Amino acid sequence: MIDKEKCHILIIQEAENAMLSEAFLKHYGFKNVSITSSSKDALSILEGMVPDLVILDHRPISNEEPTGIELFQLMRQLPKLQKSAFLIYHWNPWLKNDECQQLKMQGFNGLLRRPLTPADLNEACESVMSGETYFPDWNNN
């Protein structure tokens, strides 16, 4: 069982969605949630913390920003993040299982899809921070 009050979560996502995710997580008892809508700001935040979980958006937040996969690849190179879990939001509700497998092979611990309920987000966070993966079978919905 994870201690939600001690877990550190970093959400890198478009501002409104990041705030919504933060509110959901705090509702479920996660106390240490940091949000940003900039990869540069995310790297600055990481100078002062080691997150247990990083949540990224699949799409770039702006034209000047990397995609979530590109940012993940950069962050995975940081020694301090080797034990951190990573979830990625994907906006495509028709993502195929082979595409999910590719994300697993790249090293993501889980995948969130839209629309996302607060309970789904909580379940995904609890799963990946407990050492499990979270890749729901979208093709059977």
Domain ranges within the chain, ordered by starting residue: 30-53+68-114
pLDDT for position 140:
47
Q: What is the pTM of this model?
A: 0.91
CATH 3.40.50.2300 fits 30-53+68-114, yes or no: yes
Cβ atoms of residues 57 and 86 within 8 Å: no
pLDDT for position 93:
62
Q: Using pLDDT thresholds of 50, 70 and 90, give the confidence band for residue 63.
A: confident
Q: Lay out the sheet containing 8-12: strands in order across.
A: 32-36, 8-12, 53-57, 85-90, 110-113
d(CA 46, CA 39): 10
